Amino acid sequence: MDVVEELRYLVLAAQREGARALADVLRPLGLTPAQGEVLAVMRTADAALSLREIGERLVCETGSPSRLVTSLVAAGLIDGARDPADGRVTRLSLTAAGRQVAARAHAAEQDFHRGLAAVLPEGDALDVVVGFLREIVAASPSGRALSRRRAEVEPAAAAGAVDGPAEPGPGRSPRRAGR
């Protein structure tokens, strides 16, 4: 196996193991990782979102997230109301219970990220790896979803910056953030 093939399998293995570990973290909250991602997208939104707007920000599902949203509506975590400007559109927002669960999920994910940070490389190696992975996914639906989410919290991301901000932001190692 050459090194590029091994890298491809290592990325796949890391994604699968990370997904399993995240599922274990979110399971006590009654959430799947995909449901947790929907709540994270909605928690950080400035306003209620349409189904399409949620879908544009998701990595877990590149198509319509209607199944995910329906499960969260049934759980009482999301509520919808017709958009007054366009009655064909439903604006979705977190319920009070949804905000509580989203906050608990965020705290659990932050703990999970701190665990990941403990094994990440020192120095600029992390920036190189993140930049490399961004390049790989940049033209894909998942890459565009991540760019949209980064742009909401990092103005440099809106301009297409690959290296990320000088200051820590989402996706940056908390260990590096303290430097």
Q: Answer for the pair 65, 51: CB distance below 8 angstroms, yes or no.
A: yes
Over range 77-103, report the average pLDDT: 94
- Which sequence spans correspond to the domains of the chain? 1-119, 123-179
Residue 173 is classified by DSSP as -
Tokens of 35: 């449901």
Amino acid identity of 75? Answer: A
- How is domain 1-119 classified at the CATH fold level? Arc Repressor Mutant, subunit A (1.10.10)
pLDDT tens profile 1-27: 999 999 999 999 999 999 999 999 999
In this predicted structure, the answer to whether residue 163 has a pLDDT above a threshold of 50 is no
| pLDDT (0 to 100) of residue 159 | 53
In this predicted model, which residue has the larger pLDDT, 156 or 146? 146
Of all residues in the chain, what percent carry a pLDDT higher than 90?
Answer: 63
pLDDT tens profile 102-132: 999 999 999 999 998 888 887 788 888 889 9
pLDDT mean across residues, the chain: 85
In this predicted structure, the answer to whether residue 58 has a pLDDT above a threshold of 60 is yes
SS3 156: helix
| pLDDT (0 to 100) of residue 87 | 87
| Beta-carbon contacts of residue 11 (< 8 Å; ≥ 6 apart) | 133
